[in-house]
Amino acid sequence: MKMWPFLLLLVALLLSTTATLPSEALNVRGHLLKSKTFLSPAIFLRPSSISNKIYFDVAFPIGHIALKSFDAEVVDEHGVPVPLHETYLHHWVVEPYYIPKGTDVAETKLSKIILRRNSGVCKTTLGQYYGLGSETRHTATWVPDPYGIEVGDPVAPPEGHEEKWLLNVHAIDTRGAVDKLGCTECRCDLYNVTMDEYGRRIGEDYIGGLRCCYDQTQCKVKEGFADGEVRKMFLRYTVTWLDWNDAVLPVKIYIFDVTDRALLEGKSEPSCKIEYQVEECSSEDQAKNDCVHVQVAKQILPRGGDIVFGVAHQHSGGIGASLHGEDGRLLCESMATYGEGQEAGNEAGYIVGMSTCYPKPGTVTVSDGEALTVVSNYSSERQHTGVMGLFYILVAEHEQQQQQQQQVRTVSWLLSNL
């Protein structure tokens, strides 16, 4: 029994270096969670006008933390939720960035800002950590235990920089709109624009999308509404997190975009266009009740692991989307739910939620460099412009999980041999 003192020492060492292992680690209790609700800067909208602004240095939890959820909705100045048929939430996105310490975005050049993008897979767009649209009220963002999105690590920013957060909110007021759906689909004819926000001419073949509904544009409004009341609104968001500790397993964020044709066309660099158009189906298909537009893309997942969460993002008309492995196996399916009434969170005709996937860890595995297929279905009973088909997944890499499991196994082996 000479081993005893040595083993005890080893156990003590292991327990002290791995703080909260193992019981709390694998079952993160409510009391460890922190949660806080914030308001975005005020958003002002006239009837049928657009606000699409980027807010830098928004309120966000401070410190080295594991994000567990990010829930948001649009509220008026009294904190009352605003329904989508009055203010349509086209999208919001949040993303961390690095900025030289002590400087302010207002007084620094935007070129000094380093975006801290997610792990892929588009190169220059869709770098957000979280982002949703009209579905935000009923779409889960919860990162299952024992996983978390690691942010605020003090050693992560480049020398002399600090981490801050930006928020982009694209809201479309449709009070008094001549064509509410057309306005939310950014149909160019309704916005009476010929140039996009960068002064580039919009061609005749571009019928609708973000190039026509930029900040400060105005959608066609019914008589008597044009000078209507300016409404003051906010994006109210609640962040839930844990202080970072060794028990939390980090996950990587990937966003797939169904508009990326690069791989299918034999090109290596991704080409994410974000939006696409759904044409109205033929009268033959109408007669057969077969009006589903299916858009497909393949994109490469750089690093594999376990998928622990998945959700799609679509616009009105969306039916659902799915993500598949290289051999065609289903990784996650996310279906749209529509509202049935008038009240906020249940608006008829709008997507008010997307279903999510929470695979049991280890059951849905993807490998390094695997070519994944995204499928996005829309109803084509009518034309839809500026639609999206994004797939957001969280991946826990095996290496990191093994490291932790090894620690857990060592501790339990030692304990059972004492």
Query: Which residues contribute to the site for ligand NAG (CB under 6 A)?
Result: 192, 292, 294, 319-322, 333, 375, 377
Minimum distance from residue 73 beta carbon to ligand NAG (Å): 26
CB of 21 to ligand NAG, least distance (A): 39
Say if residue 220 is exposed, middle or buried (CB neighbours under 10 Å; 0-12, 13-18, 19+).
middle
Nearer to ligand NAG by Cβ, of 219 and 235: the residue is: 219
Which tokens is 263 given? 């791989």
CB atoms within 10 A of CB 40: 22
Main-chain dihedrals φ then ψ at residue 400, nearest 5 degrees: -65, -35
Pairwise CA distance, residues 151 & 228, whole Å: 42
CB of 319 to ligand NAG, least distance (A): 5
Residue 318 burial by Cβ neighbours in a 10 Å radius (0-12, 13-18, 19+): buried
Q: CB-wise, 113 or 352, nearer to ligand NAG? A: 352
Question: In the complex, what is the shortest distance from the CB of residue 336 to ligand NAG, in angstroms, rounded to a whole number?
Answer: 9
Decide if 228 contacts 183 (C-beta within 8 A).
no
Of 189 and 229, CB closest to ligand NAG: 189
Q: Is the dihedral of CA 223, 229, 230, 234 positive or negative?
A: negative
Pairwise CA distance, residues 416 & 368, whole Å: 36
**What is the closest distance, in whole angstroms, from the C-beta atom of residue 252 to ligand NAG in the complex?**
24
Closer residue to ligand NAG, CB minimum distance, 192 or 412: 192
Residue (40 or 377) nearer to ligand NAG, CB: 377
Query: Which residues, at least 6 apart from 409, have a Cβ–Cβ distance to it below 8 Å?
Result: none
